[in-house]
Amino acid sequence: MQSYRSFLTALALSVAVSPATLLGAEQSPTIEAQGTNVEEQQASTDADTNNPTPTEPVGQAPQPRQSQAQIADVLERRGILTPRDAFVVEPQFQYINSSVTQVNLEGYTILPALLVGSISIDSVRRDTVIMAVGLRYGITSHFELEGRIPFVRSDEQISSRPLNQGTQENTVTKAWGQGLGDVEMAAHYQLNDGENGWPYFIANLRIKSDTGRGPFQVPVAPSGLQLELPTGTGFWGIQPSITFTMPSDPAVFYGSLSYLWNLERKVNIPGRPTISPGNSVSASLGMGLALNQDASFSLGYSHNTVNPATQDGQTIKGSQRLQVGVLQIGVSYRVKRRTTVNFNLGVGVTQDAPNVQVTLSLPLSFAPRS
């Protein structure tokens, strides 16, 4: 009998989710014990009967139970560590849609209910497509290295309508940007073997570079609107995290806790201030369920708390703490022994979260020759 062996979950806040991969299996103590009981009962029955033992096989032996299918991903990576000297190439497509509506007040008040100036409503919608290639390599059975190279395309549309100027037409402004995103590197280490009923624990460290074009590197109109959209955050980030995974056939329960530290730096704007985009704390919890030997389904929730941005150590005016909650649904199907298709859907459940996030990935495993 086969079951799950070891597990891994790690993901950075600003990037796409990575797919799960189950590579390898071992015997399940629970199933093995049940098989022993069946054999003992059969031996007792044969000893009590007067019928001779047949010399020819009767019927067909039951087929051994296959290992459960790969557990699909939700906004962060779960799965067994890549075996030693094995290599995984993971093409990935991701689409993100986000929108926000805000009221802008420009002027001054002469009475608590009387504003002298302009009032406008802005509706901002952004569509982002990310094409990425992920690479994973097993150093040992308990240690794995990972890399990710994204290419980003973003389109944004801003619709504005002044409320106190008698106009009935919206002013529409469009911008776009594309190019290399922020390249990532990560290391994952399995801390234990999940014995004696303990979950598997994985320690992760992810580093996000600033190879993408940052928000302070794009041209800006006199009105303050960006004429070209950035493809990266413009800041290096370091994200340690801890992941647990508890197999309970046919389900797998998982969770993670991480902290993202964005390194502050001086930006190329008048005054050369030191900007920090704000650090964040995130947690996730979910369950994966095997539907059959090739397909699985997962359901989870992730929540991110992002602190306000600062300039020279002081909170930037208008910046506030963000709460990003996402309901995650995943489906995974094993096409071949070393090829799996993962589909993930994230739905924002808080005001600061993206409306929808769709991810499709195809991890391809290359095991060493024995």
User: What is the per-residue DSSP string for 179-240?
Assistant: EE---EEEEEEE-----TTPPEEEEEEEEE---SPPTTSS-B-TTS-BSB--SS-SS-EEEE
pTM for this entry = 0.75
SS3 253: strand
Please indicate, yes or no, if residue 57 is contained in any of the structural domains. Answer: no
Residue 346 has a CB neighbour count (10 Å cut-off) of 24
Please indicate, yes or no, if residue 327 is contained in any of the structural domains. Answer: yes
CATH number at residue 176: 2.40.160.40
SS3 60: coil
Q: Are 214 and 275 in contact (CB under 8 A)?
A: no
Measured distance CA(1)–CA(65) in Å, rounded: 6
Q: What pLDDT does residue 167 have? A: 58
Name the residue with higher pLDDT: 53 or 311: 311
Measured distance CA(69)–CA(66) in Å, rounded: 9
Q: What pLDDT does residue 131 have? A: 98
Please indicate, yes or no, if residue 14 is contained in any of the structural domains. Answer: yes
Please indicate, yes or no, if residue 72 is contained in any of the structural domains. Answer: yes
Least confident residue range of 36-40, 262-266, 308-312, 358-362: 36-40
Least confident residue range of 6-10, 126-130, 183-187, 286-290: 6-10
33 phi and psi, to 5 degrees? -65, -40
Question: Predicted confidence band at 77 (pLDDT cuts at 50, 70, 90)?
Answer: very low
**For residue 321, is pLDDT > 50?**
yes
Domain count, the chain: 1
Burial class (CB in 10 A: 0-12, 13-18, 19+), 195: exposed
- Report residue 31 as tokens: 């199933």
- Report residue 49 as tokens: 């009967």
Q: What pLDDT does residue 34 have? A: 31
Please indicate, yes or no, if residue 101 is contained in any of the structural domains. Answer: yes
Give the pLDDT confidence of 221-249 residue by residue, as tens digits. Answer: 887 788 899 999 999 999 999 999 998 87
Q: Are 276 and 292 in contact (CB under 8 A)?
A: no
In our burial notation (b when 16+ CB lie closer than 10 A, e otherwise), range 229-247 reads bbbbbbbbbebebbbbbbb
- Report residue 85 as tokens: 């000297």
Distance of CA 257 to the CA centre of its chain: 13
**For residue 146, is pLDDT > 80?**
yes
Enclosing domain of residue 174 = 8-48+64-366
Please indicate, yes or no, if residue 1 is contained in any of the structural domains. Answer: no
- The CB-side HSE value for 325 (13 A sphere, CA atoms) comes to 6
Give the pLDDT confidence of 89-102 residue by residue, as tens digits. Answer: 999 999 999 998 76
Please indicate, yes or no, if residue 59 is contained in any of the structural domains. Answer: no
End-to-end alpha-carbon separation of the chain, Å? Answer: 22
Please indicate, yes or no, if residue 143 is contained in any of the structural domains. Answer: yes
The per-residue pLDDT of the chain, averaged, comes to 77
CA dihedral of 28, 34, 40, 45, whole degrees rounded to 10: -140
Q: What pLDDT does residue 248 have? A: 86
Q: What pLDDT does residue 35 have? A: 35
Q: Span 19-35, mean pLDDT?
A: 31
CA dihedral of 234, 352, 131, 240, whole degrees rounded to 10: 60
- Give the amino acid at 124: V
**For residue 38, is pLDDT > 60?**
no
**For residue 364, is pLDDT > 90?**
yes
Q: Are 148 and 181 in contact (CB under 8 A)?
A: no
